[in-house]
Amino acid sequence: MKIENTLEAKQELVGGLIEVIPYKDALLICNEEGKIDNLPINLVFDLESIAGNCFAVGDDYLHGDFKSLTDEQIEEFRKDFIRRSYKEKTKTLDREDGGMERE
């Protein structure tokens, strides 16, 4: 997916103000007020979660900007996002609690 490199385009994708979070050798762009606005939990990290939409971008730290991800990063992050997705986490917890899935 190609994203226009403007603040407005990023805000539209996350549905509000953006927050930039370091992620591996890239950055996550998410809704800064996702939790305050009670958006659904999307990704779960060790002690933190991201509520609402988010996406990864490359970190062009030399120019203080964002850049495209490499094909390798896209594949790596796609797999990691599936593993970290809230839906996957709750399925795993349900199986550990006796196999009952939530709807």
User: How many angstroms separate the CA atoms of 91 and 26, rounded?
Assistant: 28
Residue-wise DSSP of 17-82: -EEEEEETTEEEEEETTTTTTTPPEEEE-SS-EEES-EEEEEEETTTTEEEPPPHHHHHHHHHHHH
The predicted model scores a pTM of 0.81
Predicted local distance difference test score (pLDDT) of residue 102: 45
Q: What percent of the chain has pLDDT over 70?
A: 86
Residue ranges per structural domain of the chain: 7-96
